[in-house]
Amino acid sequence: NTIAGRTYNDLSQYPVFPWILADYTSPELDLEDPKSYRDLSKPIGVINPKNERQVRDKYDHFEDPMKIVSKFHYGTHYSNPATVMHYLVRLEPFTTLHIQLQSGRYDIADRQFHSIHKTWQGLLDNPNDVKELIPEFFYLPEFLVNHNNFDLGRLQGSGDEISDVALPAWAQSPEDFINKHRQALESEYVSEHLHLWIDLIFGYKQKGQ
């Protein structure tokens, strides 16, 4: 992130971290099991194999009649100001920035960041949703808690009020989630595979390669 010029002082160049886990439902998180981890060699939009053909077809058949826009796989970015505000909506000044972005109100409740598992599931179901994570997922439990009691709305289907972020089954508290998530980041599996994601996102190559 530092070499890429990313900084906390610019929402358009905010530090970006990968989704590293794929298990948000088990009662216990097994960090020794490779199946617990996301495939870091693939973009988030094709982690689910069923999305790969759709993404490829969109690229292969795209043609701009004006010959201005080149072919592309994704129409959005893995990190942008809206994504940062989406994740940090419970913390100021991001709450105010989010409201300003949404023309003076909170976004529709169902589109709010309200569940880690459902956010991950949304990425698997929607090849156009390609957002990665922000550093706070690995050190700041406060961003998962609605300490200020902001009125973030209610989900349309269940009518449940959105407040704190719903955690994976294996996390007993926001602090426990951060602790285990950080352990996953520093695990042997991620250490051995993170370079694949770095190459994918930043185009980094070691000298001599």
**Separation of CA 205 from chain center:** 24
In this predicted structure, what is the pLDDT of residue 151?
A: 95
Of the candidates 30, 44, 46, 16, which has an alpha carbon nearest to the alpha carbon of residue 189?
30
How far apart, in whole angstroms, are the C-alpha atoms of residue 85 and residue 90? 9
The answer to whether 35 touches 184, Cβ cutoff 8 Å, is no
In this predicted structure, what is the pLDDT of residue 48?
A: 86
pLDDT tens sequence across 132-175: 999 999 999 999 999 999 999 999 988 999 999 999 999 999 99
Q: CB-based burial of residue 162 (10 Å sphere; 0-12 exposed, 13-18 middle, 19+ buried)?
A: buried
User: Average pLDDT, stretch 49-54?
Assistant: 80
How far apart, in whole angstroms, are the C-alpha atoms of residue 195 and residue 203? 10
The answer to whether 3 touches 168, Cβ cutoff 8 Å, is no
How far apart, in whole angstroms, are the C-alpha atoms of residue 171 and residue 173? 6
The answer to whether the bond into 93 is cis (omega within 30° of 0) is: yes
pLDDT at 69 over 90: no
pLDDT tens sequence across 84-138: 999 999 999 999 999 999 999 999 999 999 999 999 999 999 878 889 999 999 9
